[in-house]
Structure 1
Amino acid sequence: MRTEDVLAATATGLWSWDNGAGTVTLDAEAARLLELPAAAGVFRESAVRSRFHPVDWNEIYGVVSLARAEGTLAEARLRIVDGEGRVLRTVRSRSRPLPASDRDYVLVGTLQEVPEPQPGATGTPIPITGDWRRSREAFLLDAGRALAEARSTEEVLRVASSLSMPGFSPDGLAVFGIAGDRLTIVGHHGHGLGDEGPFTDMPLETDYPAAVVVRTGRAVYLPSPEEYSRRFPTTWPLAGPFGRRSWAFLPLIVAGRTMGAWMAGFKHPVSFSPDERSVLTTVARMLAQALARAGVAETERELSLGLQRSMMPRLGPGIPGMTVAARYIPTGGGLQVGGDWYDMIPLPNGRIALVIGDVQGHDVRAAGLMGQLRIALRAYASEGHRPDAVLSRASRFLSGLTEAYEDGSAPGPRFATCLYAEVDPATGTLDIARAGHPDPVVTTADGTAMIRQTEGGLPLGIEEDADYPTSRLTLETGETIMLCTDGLIETGGHDMFSGWDRLRPVLEQHPADLEKLADALVQTVHGPASHYTTGPLSDRREDDVALLLLRRDGGTGRRPTARRTALTIAQAQPERIAAARRQLRDLLHDWADPEQVDSAVLMVSEMATNVLVHTDGDALMLARATGEHGERLLRVEVSDGSDELPHKRRPGEMASSGRGLVLMEMLADAWGVDPQGAGKSIWFELNESFPDQEPAQPWEPADLGPADLAAPVDRAAPEA
């Protein structure tokens, strides 16, 4: 019997759809089923398309694409409608797409009428809707959103296991990866502990569905245990004990490369209709993309942690008699590494060097330069150089580093700020050299926090032969020094002044635990966090933060102690007179009488100005406050190298100078001039009093002229 007779007897038609030519070839039976003239012929695609329900025609493209990708049959139910949209019959199409070119194909198959019509009475228009289709679309949207938000492989697997597919949710899943020529388990759900054992290290040549999927890049559907055991008899004994009834193994493909396989197991029979296969294929594609993103993110995090572990070492052995705490908080963007760093270096002379710095930028190149600069600083320090020499050599090293972009263009110079402090644990002294870095902050034992002005030079890398003068300060028992990068001060839109005002109350709370103090400082800048360490934080930061805290041990809690501050004012730096005024105000921040503070600031400004005007040397200001609150004594000295003593003058009414000693006589409780070998020291003292008390020596501001604030005087007549 001929094939044509068999097809005619079963009311089955043949069709061939040439996608490239846009034509459909029908035999007589297929033409009749499509309500076209019942004769074999070639029809335009548009003529055939008009016979299908619009919703079903659109479904064809998805079904055919799925069949092409999997190399399977394209099966679909299609409603045949008349010119008014009434459904006349329903046909089932079973076709195979045959490639005609890279993009085009020829769909060859059969059409056969099915006896049961789809919902909707024949002869009445069918709405272009479907509950199942709506559920599927909603499910895919939710699944895509959830998988897109997953940030790790563990999260991706958790999301995949919670997906509730419309009508056929799997009860178990497994994700397989590739390691060389082996199949591995990335993760699984719905299985007992240890159930993955036989599948964790399987050769790709194994006759196992997941291995076949990885080798061929095509899905494998097993609707029954019989089908499984027939196609994969070797590995069926491994799958049989799980008691499932159907399995789907789909390739995980990213950018045309098969990166693994996804297994969905069902305890109920699943026929894997075209719609079900379409859903599974779409989920597999989204799952592959999510796993690829998670893998990249985990690789970046691991690289970030590795860079931080190598570039930001833990603090070494403790310093005898001192406590150290440190924090490093990256920006949180990209690889979460940047140009800030800190270090603690043992020196040949038994001392310890503390280093903190900031390379320009927050990218990987900044992190690389930071690593090189940190190593260079360690090498120079280990050679036994003094702080100024260490920074000079580091600046020369950084300015000599050159790089080029891939196109050969120059990237432009980069610089770094740095503060290098050599600590003598026995005496508490710190010799500090500073290269464009923020000044340190010292908190006294009674909780007074002050910025300590130190000598400084240009940032590293600006000039090869830059000089870096050294300043010395001494930590008394219970005092703490803070070294930080500008990120701690300026993050949140602050400048150096407002940022310092934000941090000062935290420092003055003076927690006994340096670790808690470090956490409090970081929280003040970045807000609450569950835990701050030297590792990365997940939230986004405006700038990197590096922080070092050093406390000289001894004593507990707050206790009355001497507060002091010191500052050198060079001839070439008259602007540091303003810094001296600021330091004195910080020292006296809780002084009982604000007018006494104003008087002290005015006298310091007068004394320092006269040194710069009447001598050729620098001025050294030393201020010290002792005693209990409300009964303290302030003593301020300004020393210089001139041995010519000042004398009191009687300025005329129009004179612009000569009132310095007059001011001190009126404002100070005591004052004087002490010779000091090759130089002298001018000093004054104030006894703390409350505003409602009478000052020791009352004075009337109206007695002074405007020139007294600046008080420039003639070099021929030196005075305070």
Structure 2
Amino acid sequence: MRTGEPLPAVGDVLAALATGLWHWDTATGLVTVDAEAARLLGLPARRVSLQQTEVRSRLHPVDWNEIIGVVRLAATEGTVAEVRVRIVDGQGRVVRVARSRSKPSFDPGSKTYRVVGTLQEVTEPSPGTAAGSGAVTGDWRRSREAFLLDAGRALAEARSTEEVLRVAAGLSMPGFSPDGLAVFGVEGDELAIIGHRTQPERQDSPFARMALETDYPAAEVVRTGRAVYLSSPEEYAARYPLTWPLAKSFQRHSWAFLPLTVAGRTMGAWMAAFSYPVTFTPDERSVLTTVARMMAQALSRASADETQRELTDGLQRSMLPAVGPEIPGVRITARYVPTGGGLQVGGDWYDVIPLPHDRLALVIGDVQGHDVRAAGLMGQLRIALRAYASEGHRPDAVLSRASRFFHGLTQAADDPGDTRFATCLYVEVDPATGTLETARAGHLDPGMRMADGTVLVRSTAGGLPLGVDPDSDYPTTRLALEPGETLMLITDGVLETGGHDLDSGWLRLRAVLEEHRTSGLEELADAMVQAVHGPSSHHTTGPLADRREDDIAFLMLCRTGKDDNCGDAAHPRPPGRRTMLTVAQAEPERIGTARRHLRDLLYDWPSEDQKDSAVLLLSETLTNVLVHTDTDALMVAEVTGDPGGRRIRVEVTDAGQDLPHKRTPGEMASSGRGLMLIEMLADEWGVTPRGEGKSIWFDLYESAVPVAGPVSA
């Protein structure tokens, strides 16, 4: 070209370089191409305007979607969009690969894009070319898609901020991976690092906390909501001269700062730093942007979950008392593990209530449901029970008043159809004597671990759940707790969690408790939780979370006695166990309960005939008291000795003054055979006068038969 000659037209220059021009307006849906661009698309070499569907048919389907994503990203960031596309023929075969570079603009009013760019044929790189070189091959696309799927799955499963940061630090991006990561969160008008990973590790960071107005890329990202890419230290120093001296010490060569945005709100920024130069091609930016969006969603979920757990813990702590060992004569411990769903707080509760004269009351219950309303009702019911107990009412009166109160609460609900009931077990304890006065409202019977480690279920009288009938009665049952024995109050989640029913759940619990015969009370409680619910690390997360259908709550009280023996290994257990039950004149059905107590006590007795004999003789002695006296009967049954040489002693005491004597009943007589049966079946027996009444007792000695295994409670 001679000096002074006019410059050739831009189109002529591009045509000489085999580069075409194209223009796309999404408002009209038209794509205008010049002759060279038309030739590259496989059309006649002339300027033409096409519908975007016609252009789309000339491109590989995956590449068209790639163009859409890159154009939107470039328009958002105000950068150049670059992408490689495969041009296909009418049969869908790839005929050439072209590179497109364009400058898109976005009209917020019409929400449309205008794109002006170039199209140039390039040689398809061989498989394995690094993504950092700008190549977009089919293999790289597939690896990128697989990476994004794995990353999305891992981030979706993260349940805490710490887990999200750990997943982000372990991401290995296709073709390029950052070796320095930091996540910034907004706290008021400041930006703070909430997690980071650097190579080599550095515990201190000059950017740990800064004002949002700081001349720092992450602060700018939060202020503007737009990503910042810095491909070289020179670019960093030029754009952020104030903070570059601090960032220089980390010895990085490229940085990407991306906004963490959820629902249109920028909640922080993510920094990915590289120890080697990265040009941040559109494909690399697309991957980083996608990861940032997934990370923002994961952090938002994790933050909400952590806030919810904190709320749950605070709510639960305010509703459940702190149980300590400060009560003389007893040790108490409790555990509560909420269900895995919702607020992780529901209707299960327990309470320990101090009473006059050095007594105390144990309460455990379960309000129907696992929602906020159940938790609220539980809190009100717990307060009411505590108030009624503190007034000095007996257990039956406490539950009767609580049932009337709870019925009024549920009837006053905003939703008339949302009626609830509550189960409850109330036990008044006298630590000095070991006497237990129980009343039960539809709840599970208490369990008792005897001094030798044997676990029994203590049958008690009961009434309807609280709130079902405001006029329901709640009969009481008197039990005895000997030194070294442990009373257990549980909710149904302890038994039924993990697919068990009440029977199999008691078998599982019995096996655990008897396995830890020499464990202290706290260790025993931990063993129960682990057996039912899994390790403590899995209380709220992990694979065992799916096993939990109900809350787990239990309360344990051990009577220490003068030796302070509650199962500690330093205090050997005596080789014996004992049970006690009162049968009132107005409650003849309690004879059946006494029979079950005795059979439970003899669960491992080798001779079934002797067990049947003991149960029969107990029925006879209790019936005699109820028929021939006007007083109540107290049954005390005890097993002593070592296996193979044990003794059963059953004693029934009443306040009557007349001593029993043997008679010879006629064939048609309906009574008079009690003492005859005792004389025939018992190894030893006798009648002992008391200061106010008498007692009749009988003994049976263990036969030389192999000991059977435990049976269901």
| TM beyond 0.5 | yes
Q: Which structure 2 residues correspond to residues 604-619 of structure 1 after superposition, within 5 A?
A: 604-609=618-623
Q: Deviations over 1:109-129 (max 9, x none)?
A: 122435x52248xxxxxxx96
Q: Residue type of the partner of 1:259? A: M
**What is the aligned partner in structure 2 of residue 212 from structure 1?**
220
Q: Indicate how the Cα distance of structure 1 residues 570 and 196 shifts in structure 2: closer, same or farther if over 3 A, else same.
A: farther
1:647 Cα deviation after fit: 7.0
* 2:205 is the alignment partner of 1:196: yes
Distance 1:535 1:294 in 2: 13
1:195 Cα deviation after fit: 4.1
**What is the aligned partner in structure 2 of residue 683 from structure 1?**
696
**What is the aligned partner in structure 1 of residue 64 from structure 2?**
57
1:315 Cα deviation after fit: 0.9
Q: Indicate how the Cα distance of structure 1 residues 149 and 3 shifts in structure 2: closer, same or farther if over 3 A, else same.
A: farther
Q: Which structure 2 residues correspond to residues 14-25 of structure 1 after superposition, within 5 A?
A: 14-25=21-32
Give 1:6's match in structure 2, choosing from 10, 28, 41.
10
1:318 Cα deviation after fit: 1.7
Q: Indicate how the Cα distance of structure 1 residues 477 and 531 shifts in structure 2: closer, same or farther if over 3 A, else same.
A: farther
Give 1:557's match in structure 2, choosing from 549, 572, 577.
572
1:501 Cα deviation after fit: 3.9
* 2:437 is the alignment partner of 1:457: no
Q: Residue type of the partner of 1:454? A: T
* 2:186 is the alignment partner of 1:171: no
Q: Which structure 2 residues correspond to residues 263-274 of structure 1 after superposition, within 5 A?
A: 263-274=271-282
| 8 Å contact from structure 2 (residues 84, 97) kept in 1 | no
* 2:606 is the alignment partner of 1:598: no
Q: Deviations over 1:200-255 (max 9, x none)?
A: 33232333222222222221222222322333333333323322222111111222
Q: SS state of the match for residue 281, structure 1?
A: helix
* 2:438 is the alignment partner of 1:425: no
Q: Deviations over 1:636-695 (max 9, x none)?
A: 32648797978735343x7777654543343235667788899x7673513415268xxx
**What is the aligned partner in structure 2 of residue 663 from structure 1?**
677
| 8 Å contact from structure 2 (residues 578, 601) kept in 1 | yes
Distance 2:541 2:352 in 1: 17
Give 1:436's match in structure 2, choosing from 432, 437, 442.
442
Q: SS state of the match for residue 10, structure 1?
A: helix
* 2:525 is the alignment partner of 1:518: yes
**What is the aligned partner in structure 1 of residue 708 from structure 2?**
none
Q: Which structure 2 residues correspond to residues 77-88 of structure 1 after superposition, within 5 A?
A: 77-80=84-87, 85=93, 87=95
Distance 1:88 1:524 in 2: 65
Q: SS state of the match for residue 150, structure 2?
A: helix
1:190 Cα deviation after fit: 0.9
Q: SS state of the match for residue 470, structure 2?
A: coil
- Structure 1's unaligned 5+ residue stretches are 121-127, 693-720
| 8 Å contact from structure 1 (residues 24, 45) kept in 2 | yes
Q: Which structure 2 residues correspond to residues 145-544 of structure 1 after superposition, within 5 A?
A: 145-190=153-198, 192-193=201-202, 195-197=204-206, 199-402=207-410, 409-508=415-514, 510-526=517-533, 529=535, 539=545, 540-544=547-551
Q: Deviations over 1:276-306 (max 9, x none)?
A: 1111111111111221222122222222222
Q: SS state of the match for residue 472, structure 1?
A: strand
Q: SS state of the match for residue 418, structure 1?
A: strand
Give 1:74's match in structure 2, choosing from 73, 81, 96.
81
Once structures 1 and 2 are overlaid, which stretch shifts more, 605-614 or 512-521? 605-614
Distance 2:333 2:120 in 1: 81
1:339 Cα deviation after fit: 1.9
1:598 Cα deviation after fit: 1.3
**What is the aligned partner in structure 1 of residue 594 from structure 2?**
580
**What is the aligned partner in structure 2 of residue 547 from structure 1?**
554
| 8 Å contact from structure 2 (residues 582, 632) kept in 1 | no
- Structure 2's unaligned 5+ residue stretches are 127-135, 564-570, 706-713
Distance 2:541 2:261 in 1: 34
Distance 1:79 1:521 in 2: 64
Q: Indicate how the Cα distance of structure 1 residues 359 and 87 shifts in structure 2: closer, same or farther if over 3 A, else same.
A: same
Q: Deviations over 1:396-437 (max 9, x none)?
A: 3322224888xx533522222222233333333333333333
Q: How many residues align?
A: 676
Q: Which structure 2 residues correspond to residues 615-626 of structure 1 after superposition, within 5 A?
A: 620-625=634-639
Q: Indicate how the Cα distance of structure 1 residues 614 and 413 shifts in structure 2: closer, same or farther if over 3 A, else same.
A: farther
Q: SS state of the match for residue 249, structure 2?
A: helix
Distance 2:244 2:642 in 1: 87
Distance 2:484 2:677 in 1: 37
| 8 Å contact from structure 1 (residues 71, 218) kept in 2 | no
Q: Residue type of the partner of 1:146? A: A
| 8 Å contact from structure 1 (residues 80, 91) kept in 2 | no
| 8 Å contact from structure 1 (residues 324, 548) kept in 2 | yes
**Percent identity of the aligned residues?**
62
Distance 1:296 1:267 in 2: 34
Q: Residue type of the partner of 2:480? A: T
Q: Residue type of the partner of 1:587? A: L
| 8 Å contact from structure 2 (residues 495, 502) kept in 1 | yes
Q: Deviations over 1:313-350 (max 9, x none)?
A: 32135221322222223233333322222222333433
**What is the aligned partner in structure 2 of residue 698 from structure 1?**
none
Distance 1:614 1:494 in 2: 45
Distance 1:470 1:99 in 2: 79
Q: Indicate how the Cα distance of structure 1 residues 465 and 273 shifts in structure 2: closer, same or farther if over 3 A, else same.
A: same
Q: Indicate how the Cα distance of structure 1 residues 15 and 641 shifts in structure 2: closer, same or farther if over 3 A, else same.
A: farther
| 8 Å contact from structure 1 (residues 177, 183) kept in 2 | yes
1:8 Cα deviation after fit: 2.5
Q: Deviations over 1:24-67 (max 9, x none)?
A: 12344544554544443422234333444555334212212322
Q: Indicate how the Cα distance of structure 1 residues 100 and 548 shifts in structure 2: closer, same or farther if over 3 A, else same.
A: closer
Q: Residue type of the partner of 2:252? A: R
**What is the aligned partner in structure 1 of residue 567 from structure 2?**
none
* 2:33 is the alignment partner of 1:26: yes
| 8 Å contact from structure 1 (residues 68, 97) kept in 2 | yes
Q: SS state of the match for residue 523, structure 2?
A: helix
Q: Indicate how the Cα distance of structure 1 residues 171 and 668 shifts in structure 2: closer, same or farther if over 3 A, else same.
A: closer
Distance 1:479 1:569 in 2: 25
Q: Residue type of the partner of 1:550? A: L
Q: Deviations over 1:167-226 (max 9, x none)?
A: 2211212111112222221211116545433x2332323332222222222212222223
Q: Indicate how the Cα distance of structure 1 residues 412 and 573 shifts in structure 2: closer, same or farther if over 3 A, else same.
A: farther
Once structures 1 and 2 are overlaid, which stretch shifts more, 623-632 or 167-176? 623-632
Q: Indicate how the Cα distance of structure 1 residues 305 and 9 shifts in structure 2: closer, same or farther if over 3 A, else same.
A: same
Distance 1:448 1:32 in 2: 91
Distance 1:667 1:20 in 2: 103
| 8 Å contact from structure 1 (residues 74, 97) kept in 2 | no
1:513 Cα deviation after fit: 1.4
Q: SS state of the match for residue 400, structure 1?
A: helix
Give the TM-score of the pair, scaled to structure 1: 0.83
Q: RMSD over aligned Cα, in angstroms?
A: 3.7
Distance 1:163 1:155 in 2: 13
| 8 Å contact from structure 1 (residues 251, 258) kept in 2 | yes
